[in-house]
Amino acid sequence: MTSKIAAIKQYGQKIWLDNISREFLASGDLQTMMQEDGIAGVTSNPAIFYKAISSDSRYQEQLNELKKTNLTPLQRYEKMAVDDIKQACAIMQPLYVTSSGEDGYVSLEVSPALCHDTDGTVESALELWNAVNAPNLMIKVPATQAGVAAFEQLVVLGLNVNITLLFSLPQVNAIWEAYISALEKRADQGLPIDKIKTVASFFLSRVDSAVDPKLPEALQGKTAINLARAAYLDYQKLFNSPRFNKLKDLGAKGQYLLWASTGTKNKNYSDILYIEELIGEETINTVPDATLNAYRDHGNAASRLTNGIQNATTILAQVEQNGIDLIELGDKLQQEGLQSFIKAFDKLIDLVK
């Protein structure tokens, strides 16, 4: 019997798991979820690694040995994280091969302390890329101004990148412009572009949490989903344009939108709201365990992303008529997200000192 999660695949969307730990990898649960639920990728972040290292005794022996070396706390963490990511990449490697590089990716984030340092981000990304040494690794970079510049350089260098902390349409479109420009530069150099995979992580529930208290009831819970729909309209236009079609002829892949922050924070909304409403072709949804379990229990897969999509800009205009500047909000939420990532990363580094 096909699981409710696996049923999403027929509508062209890929489901990634937003979690990783040594216990999870050793248990065989990832293989099981790949087989039964069609899980097609894994994402990680500092908060996920903090939870794993602080609660899983499998890390303690390695950490004790690493403390005997001259490695810095950052290097200790990265050594443990790289070991986990390598294992996850190996587990997902067969899927990467059979899907011709469409699926099977595992994301590892550069230190968020580098979020305003382009050169530092590129250097760290290359170090992690070489340490993991797997074609299905995806380096995660925050979409600050420096991060966008680093992202473009990394794509030119041929790396897979998950560009994260996107909250507004201008932010997403800036990433797509950087991606296409990078592919054009590679193509002009005669370098292959058919193996590069990047995703644009668009955060959802945090948007609604920020705006709902300022909106009339009729508009509450609608901002994030309609921002996502508006972004998807932009995606369809850009990645079917004559400009991108030239790159597509060389094997280039479109930069899918990846729905992130998909755990429902408002208890008045469905606990699977940010999965149900955003199922559509050429998209990814990265889902935390609790939300995934809820969907496995009572999800109902259907293609809904394009439902009412032509009304998305009208609804967003109504939101702005209530005194909300969505571009300004996106910048504010990105800054708050960065601070949250940095705080989680500092806590993680303290753990391995």
Active site residues per annotation: 140
Q: Give the whole-angstrom CA distance, residue 190 versus residue 179.
A: 17
Q: Provide the 8-state DSSP code for 302.
A: -
Look at residues 199, 260, 198 and name the one whose alpha carbon lies nearest to residue 224: 260
AA identity, residue 59: Y
Kindly report the number of other CB atoms within 10 A of residue 307's CB atom.
13
Ramachandran assignment for 308, one of left (phi > 0), alpha (psi -120 to 50 degrees), beta (any other): left
Q: What is the 3-state secondary structure (H, E, C) of 311-325?
A: HHHHHHHHHHHCCCC
Strand partners, 137: 106
Residue 55 to residues 49, 198, 293, 317, Cα–Cα distance (Å): 10, 31, 21, 45
Query: In the chain, which residue ranges form alpha helices assigned H by DSSP?
Result: 22-27, 29-37, 46-55, 58-66, 73-98, 118-132, 145-156, 169-188, 205-211, 223-238, 242-248, 273-276, 289-298, 312-321, 326-351
Q: Provide the 8-state DSSP code for 134.
A: -
Q: Give the whole-angstrom CA distance, residue 147 versus residue 125.
A: 11
Tokens for 247, please give them.
């790159």
